[in-house]
A and B are shown apart, each in its own frame.
Chain A
Amino acid sequence: MSAVTVSRTAGRARVGSGGAAGTGKATQGRRQRRAAFWFLLPDSLGLLVFVVVPMVLAVVLGFFRMDGFGSFEFIGLGNYVRMVGDPQFWSSVRITLLYLVGVVPAIFVVGLALALLVQQRIPFVGAIRSALFVPYVISLVVVAMVWEFMLSERTGVVSRLLGAVGMNDLAFLGEPNLALGTVVVITVWFQMGYYMVIFLAGLQDIPGEYYEAARIDGANAWQRFRTITLPLLRPTSFFVVVTATVSVITGGLDLVFVLTGGGPAGSTTLLIFYVYEQAFLFGELGYAAAIGSVLVVVLLAWSALMFAVTRGGRFDND
């Protein structure tokens, strides 16, 4: 405590001594900048080597034809031209959009509903929260395998239950009309716990006085939710929508690989699956990099749009 006092006193003394104090302040500023530089250097180097350089290389690779064995050929916009005329690329874009439209709103609603539920003072709420969060920490491959067995045609527990009510021979992962919907449900199931926690944090930031005042004014539960909870959750909602969109577009590869392999009849070939297939199964690294670059640009544009429209998810009166 005394050291701090001395230091402050010394500082004031330097301020009071005119030019000498100015020089001292400049020296201190330089020291602080240097310290900041050294502290930031390791992280910046890590980002540079493991994020920035690979990103730049991926963009550059998009202008080359590569065979996966070290052969490079500069083809300019060739990969992008190919993309425009590639029906399977557009099919995977369409499927990804359907997946997005299915997952993000569902995650939002289910995550918020669960957060509202576990916010209540109910018995074993801690255990319930943990149980709901557990799917998120399980390996996606394990999640996929468990669901694959549960949904197995004729023999899975879900199929048996449905068979008991006369719905026989439903192949959730073998029917093109059902497969993507099934993947959406599984995605929501394993991600809902994470978004529940995010929403829960947002809900706990809302002052209880607002609700008390609303109750005194006679607002019912729905009115309180609509006029207090939803508006004050806007920053959280913004975060959820942006991160869920990014995770849906760039994730799901493991799930699809194990559950359907992109089938049946290509109905679950998400864009990220198509990128993987091109890069690692077909050795078309340049084409895959070009698709990946487009994906990054689209996601950046989407995030920028969300920031612009929601003003970064801030409150209206900020």
Chain B
Amino acid sequence: MSRRQISRRDVLRLGAAAAGGLGVAWATAGCAPGSGAGAGPLQFWQQYAPAPQQDPNLVAQSQWFLDATRRWADAGERPVDMVYIPAYTDPTNTRLTTAFASGDGPDVFLISPGDFLRYYNGGVLTDLTPYMTQEAIDDFYPDALATRIVGGKIYGLPMEQEPLAIFYDVPAFEEAGLSEGDLPTTWDEMLELGRRLKGGQRAGLVLDTTPSYYQNFTFYPWVWQGGGDVVDPRTQRPAIDSDAGVQALGLYRDAVLSGASPRTLPAGGDLVGAFSNGYAAMWQTGVWQVEAMRQNAPDHPYGIFRLPAPAGGESITALGGWAWVVNSRGRDPEAAARFAVEVMGSMSKESIGAAVEWNGVAKGNVPARRSVTEAIGNSGAFESPVLQQFRDEILPTGRGEPRYPPVIYKAVSNAIQNSMLGGADPARQAATAQAAIESYLETYEGGTFL
């Protein structure tokens, strides 16, 4: 038996054939069943499931999502795959942005109000109204749903409402000889208390310092409290250059310059770590910290109070929260919309039960629907007096987080940063922001500002 030696030419032929085969496989992969519009499960991108951690609460939240998709699939509907996106809320995460830019966005995904207009104006959100009953629409709190509605059509279903309040550290107050009766109700009292509680390694009053959508979110209620706005929802004209806007920027400036507030976030922005280690006495943040405290420092005493108001103003807070939205350019927007509505926006027993489980057990935050609030009552997570206070006292002062496109966000962010940390004149900063927004609105076409 003769043995033929393999020549260099044979190797090259083999290599070329392999490369060609791979190329054909790669080129035709996109046409394969499952990757196109036809078959295969829908994709739901979010930051909860399947949970990569073992923390019982995160596992419970993950399980909630997995159960929702399992129920949907068991009913004979098109399956939905939960796709966990690490650091979903982090500005360094470009996955959602690049997916949409390349025309390969998920079928269902979560967004916050701050991002709503970018996606709505991009034409990728599906109108969910046709899939909902009027009873279900009326079941949502108006402030929770308003920022997801354009022209009377609903483009997102909120899972929760996340009001802001001031959290305070009880040991810090006790060390200073203060009690609940000393909690501030006005801006002046708040700054005075911040100065008084500051000392050693402890910051007095923490206001967010990092330029981001989140910092803007925490800033808006201070403007509203003076009767102002960034953009007037009625006229759709910029309104930041007003007494209320200047006053709010002045509050941030005075808070830092007077020493009541730090220039950077203590404990790397971790409220639990800051309170546990005595690094902060008061902190403006949201309801999600209740769960964080319960998990990580269950025995540490703390309390909350509503955002103090300026002289002559009224206490108003901002309501954040994630909403389910459906990609109108997805594989099957109709099936995805029915899935989203069935889980989040239906009056079915399963839908309300799922929301009760989410708000009252797995996540522990304020529901976006009346029926869910009633069903939870003071059970589950709402046995916590702090959550009850959020629901009964803070929520009624809330207004939905505004939806502004990036240019408006940036103009306001610059004004906050320059006033707060650059020590700039608030009036001048408000005027600069106003001019930038005015210029932008001259050519703006898109959803209304709320």
Residues of A within 8 A of B209 (CB): 174, 263-264
Residues of B near A175 (CB, < 8 A) are 263, 421
User: Shortest CB–CB separation between residue B61 and chain A, in angstroms?
Assistant: 25
- When chains A and B are docked, how far (Å) is the Cα of A148 from the Cα of B267? 9
What are 21 pairs between A and B in contact, CB < 8 Å? A68-B97, A68-B101, A69-B101, A69-B124, A70-B103, A71-B123, A88-B410, A152-B267, A153-B203, A153-B264, A154-B202, A154-B203, A173-B263, A173-B264, A176-B421, A264-B421, A265-B422, A265-B424, A266-B414, A281-B97, A283-B122
Is the Cβ of B417 less than 8 Å from the Cβ of A154?
Answer: no
- CB of B418 within 8 A of chain A? yes
Would you call A155 and B279 a contact (CB within 8 A)? yes
User: A169 contacts the other chain (Cβ, under 8 Å)?
Assistant: yes
Answer whether residue A299 sits at the interface, using C-beta atoms and an 8 A cutoff.
no
Q: Are A154 and B262 in contact (CB under 8 A)?
A: yes
In whole Å, how far is B252's beta carbon from the nearest beta carbon of chain A? 11
Residues in chain B near residue A67, CB distance under 8 A: 121-122
State in angstroms the CA–CA spacing of A250 and B94 once bound together: 18
- Residues of the B chain whose Cβ atoms lie less than 8 Å from the Cβ of A174: 209, 262-264, 421
A133-180 contacts to B (CB < 8 Å): 145, 148-149, 152-155, 169, 171, 173-176
Which chain A residues lie closer than 8 Å to B8 at the CB level?
Answer: 35
The residues of B with any CB-CB pair to A shorter than 8 Å are 8, 12, 91-92, 94, 97-98, 100-101, 103, 118-119, 121-124, 200-203, 209-212, 259, 262-264, 266-268, 277, 279, 329, 406-407, 410, 414, 417-418, 420-422, 424
The answer to whether A155 touches B122 (Cβ under 8 A) is: no
In contact, B94 and A155 (Cβ under 8 angstroms): no
CB–CB A266/B418 < 8 A: yes
Contact present for B266 and A264 (CB under 8 Å): no
Q: Which residues in B have their C-beta under 8 angstroms from that of A145?
A: 268
Q: How far is the CA of A283 from the CA of B407 in the complex (A)?
A: 11
Say yes or no: A153 contacts B100, CB within 8 Å.
Answer: no
Residues of A within 8 A of B329 (CB): 70
Q: How far is the CA of A293 from the CA of B414 in the complex (A)?
A: 26
Q: Give a binary string over A273-302; 1 marks a CB under 8 Å from any B CB, 0 the rest.
A: 000000111111100000000000000000
Q: Which residues of B contact A155 (CB under 8 A)?
A: 201, 266-267, 277, 279
Interfacial chain A residues near B97, Cβ < 8 Å = 68, 279-281, 283
Q: How distant is A14 from chain B, measured CB to nearest CB, in Å?
A: 21
Chain A residue at minimal CB-CB distance from B407: A282
Q: How far is the CB of A156 from chain B (nearest CB, A)?
A: 9
Any chain B CB within 8 A of the CB of A187?
no
A173 to B92 Cα, complex, angstroms: 19
For B203, the chain A residues whose CB sits under 8 A away are 153-154
CA distance A154 to B417 in the complex (A): 21
CA distance in complex: A175, B209 (Å): 11
**Contact A68:B264 (CB < 8 A) given known A176-B421, A266-B418:** no
Residues of A within 8 A of B277 (CB): 155
- A281 and B201 form a contact (CB under 8 A): no
Please give, as numbers and ranges, the residues of chain B lying within 8 Å of A173 by CB-CB distance: 263-264
Distance of B268 from chain A, by nearest CB (Å) = 6
Are A281 and B91 in touch, CB under 8 angstroms? yes
Of A69, A152, A265, A284, which is within 8 A of B421 by CB?
Answer: A265
Q: How far is the CA of A70 from the CA of B97 in the complex (A)?
A: 11
Identify which of A38, A71, A153, A260 contacts B12 (C-beta below 8 A): A38
* Residue A257 is within 8 A (CB to CB) of chain B in the complex: yes
B-side contacts of A171, CB under 8 Å: 262-264
With a cutoff of 8 Å between Cβ atoms, the chain A residues found around residue B262 in the complex are 153-154, 171, 174
Chain B hits for A280, CB < 8 A = 91, 94, 97-98
B residues in contact with A153, CB < 8 Å: 203, 262-264, 266
Q: Does chain B have a CB within 8 A of A261? A: yes
In the complex formed, the residue of A with least CB distance to B200 is A154
